[in-house]
Structure 1
Amino acid sequence: MNIEGALKEAMAVDGALGVALVDYDSGMSLGYLGGGPGLDLEVAAAGNTEVVRAKMRTLARLGLNETVEDILITLTGQYHVIRLLPGTDVGLFLYLALDRSRANLALARHELKRIGSQIEV
């Protein structure tokens, strides 16, 4: 699945507000859909890159031989899910913002995992 197709599928998840595919080495978004005045996806991509980098550093310092699958940030009105993509030559993640009142978090995580496994970059 190409990037555009993956982003469209992610936006079809119930409660989706915005989605981005992000290179966490550079912090640059490779593409995004949705967002709006309260959700600048370019800013979110850069900010969540720092979250991913911090988690990677922490795992290294702890000496844990683990792989991060996803990171969940829970806000009062939103869920933010960061799904790292395994098996890519560059570090990529999908970032999905969800309206907490309309989203099913378990289903959203499942869909993001499925979508992430099918992206061809």
Structure 2
Amino acid sequence: MNIDIALKEAMSIAGAIGVALVDHESGMSLGTSGGGDWLNLEIAAAGNTEVIRSKLRVMQALGLNDSIEDILITLHRQYHLIRLMGGVKSRGSLFLYLVLERDVANLAMARHQLKRIESELQV
């Protein structure tokens, strides 16, 4: 599936507010959907690159020989889910960033659906 279809599918996840496909090396979005006046996905995407970079530095400092599958940030009203893209080398610096309305979302199902989207996405 291409980027546009992947973003549309992510927005169909129950509770989805916004989604972005982001390169964590540059902080640039390859595509976004949703968001709005109070959720600037470009700024959020760039900021979340720092979250990933920080976690990668900590893992390296601890000598962990592992990789990040996803990162969850839980707010009072929202879930922010960061799903790192695995597999093909060109996808290694990409991540999907999904913001969910907590009262509506099913976190387990959202993680499952985002994993499927990630596996089918062709970049």
TM range (shorter): over 0.9
CA distance in 2, matches of 1:106, 1:38: 26
Amino acid at match of 1:75: L
Letter in 2 for 1:44: A
Task: Give a deviation string over 1:21-70, Cα, whole Å, max 9, x none.
Answer: 00000000000000011110000000000001101111001000011000
Distance 1:118 1:60 in 2: 29
Asked whether 1:95 is paired with 2:102, we answer no
Runs of 4+ in 1 over 6 A off after TM superposition: none
| In structure 2, distance between residues paired with 1:57 and 1:113 | 24
Matches of 2:38 and 2:103, distance apart in 1: 16
Give the equivalent residue in structure 2 for 1:85. Answer: 85
**CA distance in structure 2 between the partners assigned to 1:52 and 1:119 by the alignment:** 20
The CA distance in 1 between the partners of 2:113 and 2:51, in whole Å, is 22
State how far apart, in whole Å, the 1-side matches of 2:59 and 2:44 are.
23
Q: Which residue of 2 aligns with 1:76?
A: 76
The amino acid of 1:99's aligned partner reads E
Percent identical pairs in the alignment equals 64
What stretches of structure 1 of length at least 5 have no aligned partner? none
**Mapped partners of 1:60, 1:113: distance in 2:** 24
Distance 2:101 2:44 in 1: 15
Separation (CA, whole Å) in 2 of partners of 1:117 and 1:62: 29
Partner of 1:109: 111
Task: Tell me how far apart the structure 2 counterparts of residues 54 and 103 of structure 1 sit (CA, whole Å).
Answer: 27
Q: Structure 2 counterpart of 1:62, which letter?
A: L
Structure 2 SS opposite 1:66: coil
Q: Which amino acid aligns with 2:56?
A: M
Compute the displacement of 1:116 (Å): 0.4
- TM-score normalized with structure 2 length: 0.97
Aligned pairs (5 A) from 1:1-121: 1-88=1-88, 89=90, 90-121=92-123
